[in-house]
Structure 1
Amino acid sequence: MKRASIVFIFSLFVCLLTSVTTVQAGGFSLYEWSNKSVGMGTVGYAIALDPSVIATNPALMTDLEGSQAMAGAVFIAPRTDITINGETESLKSNTFMVPHAYFTHQLNDVAWFGIGMFTRFGLGIEYNDDFMAGWEAQKVKLTTTSINPSVAFQLTDELSVGGGVELVLGDFEHEFIRGAGFKIDAEGYAFSGNLGAKYQFTDELSAGLSARLPLSFHGNGNVTGGANGDIDVYADLPASITLGLGFQPTEDWTFEFDVVHTRWDSLKTLDYEGTINSKSKFYYKNTWRLQAGAEYAALDWLDLRAGVVWDQTPIRQEHASVLLPSNDRLMFSTGLGFHGEQWFVDTSFMYIMVRDRYGVNVETSPAGAVANADFTGGTTYVGGVNAGFTF
């Protein structure tokens, strides 16, 4: 059983690594790293839900006994209506897959090791071919894959710490149709890291503190279409810090509340150097995300989950564009967990409502003609499944 579990997870890990895609998000940070977490409002910073603690708070590995392996995916389907000069159309319908895979191992009574693969940044926006502002952006995709080996140490009965090194592999596409008629396609990488701590105040109450470091992305690729040649892409992506409080009053009930702060002001420009030379300025504000989740052990083999999230957008009204029109979001989630002695399966569903954004200035021609655009009816459906083993 042990060898078969390792082979299964490793094979699925490799398959998922080749299939990471993108999704529209608030800003473009993603938090869908585990279906158990999604079902509970993406919590998991103060209580060890499963091996996805590598992505949330590596210090929580000290609560995972033996070895654990898990893999799965979350599927995300966004939609938004855009109205320009009285004409309304919707974003192209797409469903994006965001996979994840993790392995944790207890080395001894003090030290743990783990490795995870997940998606921390992603963006996918595609407009119809006749989109009025298509010369500015017909299609934009940012794909990233984080590979995050981590370690954790149990310093005292109450205090655990952990950290890891993160390799971020990225692919960026920016396609213009009207007017410009060219496409930028670049691949690159960046290094970052994460740190975490967990303190167990009582048997019922715990707190977790987790930080992810900023990263500087450099990609190189080519331009095709109206202009052909090489190009380099540069961007600085933000750090974040999360404080979580966990409460387990009985064996059947689990509650957690988290506050996430993201330092979006580090993303100042998106620089193109080469065949195209340009510097797109961002005026992002730092943001807060509040999330709460609960789980009830209804049966020996069945857990019921629910959660709620408020996610603040970093995009200021005066600087919103067709590249990133998103606004503040409110999310409601639920999920089911099935488990046996050495296996578990988690499912999740989340409904996301995006606040309407009115009066966004968009350029409708290369000559600089400007119109007001309204982005309304923004909703996203999220659902997924993962499976894991303990051995």
Structure 2
Amino acid sequence: MRKNRIALLLSLGTFSLASGAASAAGFQLLEQNASGLGNAYAGSAAVAEDASTIYFNPAGMTQLQERELSVGLAAVRPSFKFKDKGSSSGFLTGDTSDAGDWAALPNGYLSWALNKDLYVGVGMGAPFGLVTEYDDDWVGAAHSIKFDIKTYNINPSIAYRVNDKVSIGAGVSWQRMEAEYLRAAAVVSPALTQTYATLDASSDAWGWNVGALFNVSDATKVGLSYRSSIKHKLEGDLKVKGLAAGASAALTTGKAEADVELPDTFILSATHKLDSRWELLGDVSFTGWSSIKEVDIVRTSGSLSGTTVQTLETEFKDTWRVAVGANYQMNDAWKLKFGFAYDQTPVKDKERRLVSLPDNDRTWFTVGAQWNMSKASRLDLAAAYLYVPKTKIDNDQAADGRGRVTGEYDSSVWILGAQYSLAF
């Protein structure tokens, strides 16, 4: 059986954009560090305890030591168990089991003080992503068999301390996006169920981010952060192989493209030290998923050049995420972390839910521990369980020859994170 792996990465679906159950709702990947995972990323734009602040709020670099390095890895295990409840799939009758498997998401950051008030840094990671892979003959094969999107994000940043109370920061992002999408041509004949169309496409694009950090008091910090949307024009090859390949212009190999605008995000965070041992953290974030209303896949070569091959009408809605967390300083060496979050899905209903994005609202439960190995080095370990309620799907593409997928997903996600931070 073909498994469904989260890689560094982003998800489109059915010849366009979608995503399965990544860590955050939609196909957003919050695992940009492990130091925040233990708190369910509560306080993400205000904490500024290591160089990974470059992603969540570049202004936080002014709270760091002269030079700091952080490298991390998150191991993610999604589970998507589909139960068929009356799908109409023509000549496709196969079932599929758990479409999830372990995968790894690395990240890295470097911060450098040019003087006491001016800092520069760079971060590397993958803010969106998912890979989905089902059995070749499952009932939804004409919707999607495999969807593999990778994003690589490099984020140079700068921060300036205005005074003891206020710091500001900004950055630019170069982002690489690569997509591979495979599906059966149609469900209306055996030849078409054994004919496969594959889209391989890629894009380079630029975005930006800004942030501000306010030291309200010795005990309280407030952070604001905004990351822009990024417009991608994916260009590549549409390949058709199998029994019916070449039977018509629509089933021939050629060039294709698709425009995708990844959403912007806004974060408001706060941290407050109750005493020498306890610290509270909070986070409210907004993601502008409505930038993805629909995605057109358009041929750019051959007799059908300019023709839309397929339109994915996602009609995503904007979403909110709320997180709270707490830290307990056991002693000079160890700190314990706890977190809880509620994350909305951008999918409006079961009719617009895609097999490459069996997404739903999710609730985070997280724990973590931070070990100060020395004055200059620190290790963070964290674990998260994401509860996802039963997820219904009733996606009807029969009018386009791809059948109707009707059923229910039983989904969940486990995340394990580790991070090493060094001041030098």
**What TM-score, normalized to structure 2?**
0.83
Is the alpha carbon distance of 1:362 and 1:75 closer, same or farther for their aligned partners in structure 2, counting shifts above 3 Å? farther
Report which stretch shifted further, 165-174 or 20-29.
Answer: 20-29
1:171 aligned residue: 178
1:151 aligned residue: 158
The 5-angstrom pairing of residues 62-77 of structure 1 reads 62-77=62-77
1:297 alignment partner, one of 326, 329, 349: 329
1:131 aligned residue: 138
1:85 aligned residue: 85
Q: Which has the larger radius of gyration?
A: 2
Q: Give 1:234 shift.
A: 1.6
1:230 alignment partner, one of 255, 271, 280: 255
Report which stretch shifted further, 20-29 or 193-202.
Answer: 20-29
The 5-angstrom pairing of residues 192-203 of structure 1 reads 192-203=207-218
Give the Cα separation in 1 of the matches to 2:276 and 2:31: 26
Give the Cα separation in 2 of the matches to 1:102 and 1:240: 20
Report which stretch shifted further, 358-367 or 242-251.
Answer: 358-367
Contact 1:21 1:97 in 2 (8 A): no
Q: 4+ residue stretches of structure 1 with deviation over 6 A?
A: none
2:279 aligned residue: 254
Q: Give 1:253 shift.
A: 2.5
Give the Cα separation in 2 of the matches to 1:192 and 1:295: 33
Instruction: Work out whether 1:244 is the aligned partner of 2:276.
Output: no
Give the Cα separation in 2 of the matches to 1:323 and 1:384: 25
Contact 1:111 1:151 in 2 (8 A): yes
Contact 1:24 1:124 in 2 (8 A): no
2:203 aligned residue: 188
Give the Cα separation in 1 of the matches to 2:159 and 2:402: 54
Matched letter for residue 184 of structure 1: L
Contact 1:24 1:125 in 2 (8 A): no
2:188 aligned residue: none
Q: Give 1:242 shift.
A: 0.7
CA-atom RMSD in angstroms: 2.0
Contact 2:235 2:256 in 1 (8 A): yes
Contact 1:188 1:220 in 2 (8 A): yes
Q: Report Cα offsets for 1:167-194 as digits up to 9, x if no partner.
A: 1111111111363511111121111011
2:106 alignment partner, one of 74, 93, 99: 99
Q: Give 1:71 shift.
A: 0.8
Give the Cα separation in 2 of the matches to 1:172 and 1:346: 32
2:348 aligned residue: 316
Matched letter for residue 262 of structure 2: L
Contact 1:91 1:125 in 2 (8 A): no
1:353 alignment partner, one of 382, 387, 393: 387
1:273 aligned residue: 298
Report which stretch shifted further, 137-146 or 123-132.
Answer: 123-132
Which structure is higher in RCO with an 8 Å CA cutoff and minimum separation 6? 2
Matched letter for residue 266 of structure 1: S
Q: Secondary structure at the match of 1:176?
A: strand
Q: Give 1:364 shift.
A: 7.1
Give the Cα separation in 2 of the matches to 1:385 and 1:104: 19
Matched letter for residue 66 of structure 2: G
Q: Give 1:371 shift.
A: 4.5
Matched letter for residue 29 of structure 2: L
Give the Cα separation in 2 of the matches to 1:206 and 1:315: 34
Q: Give 1:49 shift.
A: 2.6
2:147 alignment partner, one of 123, 140, 153: 140
**What TM-score, normalized to structure 1?**
0.90
2:226 alignment partner, one of 177, 186, 211: 211
Q: Give 1:282 shift.
A: 2.2
Q: How many residues are paired up? A: 372
Matched letter for residue 28 of structure 2: S
Q: Report Cα offsets for 1:235-272 as digits up to 9, x if no partner.
A: 01111111011112233322210000111111122232
Q: Give 1:75 shift.
A: 0.9
2:21 aligned residue: 24
Is the alpha carbon distance of 1:335 and 1:149 closer, same or farther for their aligned partners in structure 2, counting shifts above 3 Å? same
Instruction: Work out whether 1:59 is the aligned partner of 2:59.
Output: yes
1:110 alignment partner, one of 117, 122, 125: 117
% identical equivalent positions: 27
Segments of 5+ residues of structure 2 without an aligned counterpart are 1-6, 11-19, 87-93, 186-192, 242-251, 302-307
Q: Secondary structure at the match of 1:303?
A: strand
1:49 aligned residue: 49
Q: Give 1:366 shift.
A: 6.1
